[in-house]
Structure formats: C-alpha cells, structure tokens
Structure 1
C-alpha cells in the first residue's frame, strides 16, 4: 500500500481508537466509581458496613473480571446490538469495553480508597459527618492521586482491549492491524499500527502520571 493511501487510513484509525478509548473510559468510570465506593464502605469496618451487599457485589465484580475480553466481546453481541443497533464498528466496541473495564475500575477504586488514612475517616465520623459527606469530602479527595494513577492504568488497559476488538469487526488501529497486517500479510502496516499504539499508550501514561503528581500533597510538601 502506498503512503498516500496509508496515511488517511492510519489517521482514521487513530481517531477511532482515541474515540473508543476515551468514551469507554468515561462510561466505565461512571459505573466503576460508585461500585468501588460501595465495595469499600460496605466492607468490614467500613462507614456503612453491610456484609450481604459487599459479598453479592464482590461476587458479581469478580465474575465479570474473570471473563477474557475476547470471549466477553463475542458473548454479549446480542446485548451490544440491542444497545447501539450494530455489532461492528467503533460504537459497538464501546459496549463490551465498558462491560469489561467497569469491574476492573471498581476494584482499583476500592484499592485506592483503602489507602486513605483511617484517622482522617475517624475524625470525620467524630465530627458527625454522614457516610455521603465522608465519601464526597474525605474519601474521594484524599484518594485523588491514587485514583489518577489508576485511571492511567485503566485507560491503557482499555486501549489494549480496543485493539483486540479488531478481530470481530471493531474499528481503530486494531482493525487496521488485523485486516491489513494479519489477513493480507502486510507486515509493515502491522508494525506501524503497533508503534502508533505504543506511542498513544506512552502519551496517556505521561499525562496521567503528571496529573497524579500535581494532586499528590506528599510531593508538594516534600
């Protein structure tokens, strides 16, 4: 394939990859943060300890996380079609990306909240704060640096998932790598798409770490 044909194809692939990755990350966090918070506050010694809710939600999250993405992608095709009206393309890929990433994000949010100093939570309880006030004014602000690092990990993981979706008609650079690099044996296109994916991952990683460092009070005070 000549360069003047390849360049528009790659630019469209980059646009679709960024579209899928960013939108899937946003929707995954809209689902994952509440679930992660509930897992934390309902856990043993949590501000709203409730073993049945914690156990049931934990089982659901663990089951969803245990399914390999490529299998999940195929298994929920009817659900994907019901949601977006199609099973191919960038919009269709967002649905399984969210289903796969949300449980992963929920566990990362729970882990980030566990890093918050218990003394800060106890002080908020002593002042009569409600569980909702503790979540909004204490837990989430205190866990912000860890949450930012988790977001960096999540967005790079989702980017990797989006590339796998190319095998079942998903868009983006993954589809280009499969359709041209794999099926048509054009290894140069395969290497270029891999290189572009690595560059995008590094950009997200760098931005995420800088934002995490800016919100980390320990670094500011050192």
Structure 2
C-alpha cells in the first residue's frame, strides 16, 4: 500500500484536524497557566523560613514528580468523580480533566523554574523597593516579578511546547485533540502514513508558532530591560 497524496491533501485541509490542533493548544495553555499558579506558590513555599511550608512544598515536588502523567490523567478522569460527587456532571469533561491533570503534574517542574528565576533577582532590588516605600507585596509584583519573568520566559516557552506534545496522552480519555483525530482516521481507513503525516504537519506548525511568539516576547522583555537601564 503506497502513500496516497490525495488522501493526505484532503485531510490536511480538513477542519477536523484544525479543531484538534486548537484543542491541543488550549489544553496546553490552560495547563501551563495552572502549573504557573501552583508552581509560583510552591516556589514561594520553598523560599519560606517556615518548616511546614518547606515540607509541604518538598512533599508536593516528590509526589508529583514520581507520578506518571498518564496515571494522573486517569485518576483525574476516572477516580476523582468517584470521590467527589460534584464532578459527576456534564461540566466536568475530558478537556477540563486534561488541564487539571497536566497542570498539577507539570507544576512540580515549573516550580523549580520559577524559584530559580526569583532567586536570580538580586536581593538589593527588593531592599531598594522597600526603601521607596513599597509594601512587600508591591515590591514583589512591581519589581521582582518583572525581572524574574524575563529569566523564566525561555524555560516556560519550552514547557509550553512540551505540553502541546503531552496533550496526546489525553486521547486515552477520548479528548478530541490532534493525535486522537489522526487515530480515528487511521482506525477507519488503515491509512497510517497519510493521517500521521498530517498530524506531523500540524504539530510542526503549532510548535513553530509558539517558538516565534516566545522569541517576540523575549525580545520585548529584553528591550524593556535595556530601556530601564538607559533611563537610569
């Protein structure tokens, strides 16, 4: 059975693949937002002087680094509704379960990225902000976070790319993401090469767009930093 270009082109312009790509990107973005929110909390707990906070952060990192993402996905989709009655509803669908599972899992890695970025900001910046009359919260969000963001952008961009690819495992809970769409086509026609080739093209396009956006953001933050130095 040879490669059939007509099937390839027909699927390449099919809206079903585009919808699958959009779902994959939305799940990846939602997971990254959740991972950053949890990861920031864990990073701050790791920097805390409280033994309880430090122990809790270390326990989270230890537990969710040890857990395979696939297992956590199955737990979120199958086990959580069994334990939490509120999740036995139509609003809790594979899309939400995938964001929850991947966000919780990846937060264990994002936490260390954010902690490294926060630690790289000189402590004198915080002291200078306090000397100007800022509260600790104001100093954190107005002085520390902008500088840490510039440092955290490259690894977070890589994390988003990894999450786009990781959404493929959500096909096991019937989420209609990109790989699931290709698999359904393969099961119906047994044309492996054509359908998987289309999936490859869409993954390449999505990852390329993310890399371009990451580059633009990095340049913008680098330009802002230089402008700030010149102004001083």
Kindly report the root-mean-square deviation, in angstroms, between the aligned alpha carbons of the 2 structures.
3.0
Q: Secondary structure at the match of 1:76?
A: helix
Please state how far the C-alpha of 1:80 moved relative to its aligned partner.
6.1
Q: Secondary structure at the match of 2:152?
A: helix
Q: 1:195 to 1:80 in 2, by over 3 A?
A: farther
Please state how far the C-alpha of 1:98 moved relative to its aligned partner.
1.7
Please state how far the C-alpha of 1:19 moved relative to its aligned partner.
2.2
CA distance in 2, matches of 1:12, 1:26: 21
Could you tell me which residue of structure 1 aligns to residue 165 of structure 2?
A: 160
CA distance in 2, matches of 1:214, 1:54: 35
CA distance in 2, matches of 1:13, 1:61: 31
**1:125-182 Cα shifts (integer Å, max 9, x gaps):** 5667543233222221221212222331221121121112223322210212333347
Q: 2:19 aligns with which of 12, 21, 42?
A: 12
**Conserved? CA contact 1:28–1:105, under 8 Å:** yes
**1:65-97 Cα shifts (integer Å, max 9, x gaps):** 221211221233222675474686433322212
**Under a length normalisation based on structure 1, what TM-score does the superposition of the two structures give?**
0.80
CA distance in 1, matches of 2:94, 2:59: 31
Unaligned runs of 5+ in 2: 1-5
Q: Secondary structure at the match of 2:175?
A: coil
Q: 1:110 aligns with which of 107, 115, 122?
A: 115
Could you tell me which residue of structure 2 aligns to residue 79 of structure 1?
A: 80
Please state how far the C-alpha of 1:218 moved relative to its aligned partner.
5.6
CA distance in 1, matches of 2:214, 2:179: 23
- Structure number with greater CO (CA < 8 Å, separation at least 6) is 2
**Conserved? CA contact 1:17–1:173, under 8 Å:** yes
Alignment length (residue pairs): 215
Unaligned runs of 5+ in 1: 43-48
